[in-house]
């Protein structure tokens, strides 16, 4: 599976990939550009054992940002990736991202 850097849409180096998997949790913030947002985190489904993207918080963007800031206080190595899409598409259910 090839991984792309979201900032430059270039392949991620092996060093970057290793750091990504070694350091901190990953949150995905979906900004719908209408004042609303949703933040997803990776969680384990205790029934199936699968890793799934679950909603951590959703609502007004300032509330979502406050929750992300609080998460940063627990995990200083936290990665936050913001996706902007007016239609609310995040692609987290795609096979390579699920």
Q: What is the pLDDT of residues 24-75, one digit of tens each?
A: 789 999 999 999 999 999 988 888 888 889 999 999 999 999 999 999 988 8
Note the pLDDT of residue 5.
43
Q: CB count, 10 Å around CB of 97?
A: 11
> Model pTM?
0.71
Locate 30 and state its tokens. Answer: 């979906």
Q: By C-alpha distance, which of 50, 51, 30, 25 is closest to 40?
A: 30
Alpha carbon distance 83, 91 (integer Å): 10
The mean per-residue pLDDT over the stretch 7-25 comes to 55
Strand partners, 80: 27
* Residue pointed to by tokens 């007016």: 86
Asked whether the predicted pLDDT for residue 1 surpasses 90, the reply is no
């Amino acid at each position: 599976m090839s991984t792309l850097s979201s900032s430059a849409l270039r392949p991620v180096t092996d060093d970057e990939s290793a750091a990504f998997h070694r350091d901190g949790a990953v949150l995905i913030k979906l900004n719908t550009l209408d004042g609303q947002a949703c933040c997803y985190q990776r969680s384990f489904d205790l029934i199936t054992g699968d890793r799934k993207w679950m909603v951590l918080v959703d609502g007004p963007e300032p509330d979502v940002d406050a929750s992300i800031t609080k998460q940063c206080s627990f995990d200083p190595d936290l990665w936050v990736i913001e996706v902007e899409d007016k239609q609310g598409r995040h692609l987290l259910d795609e096979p390579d991202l699920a």
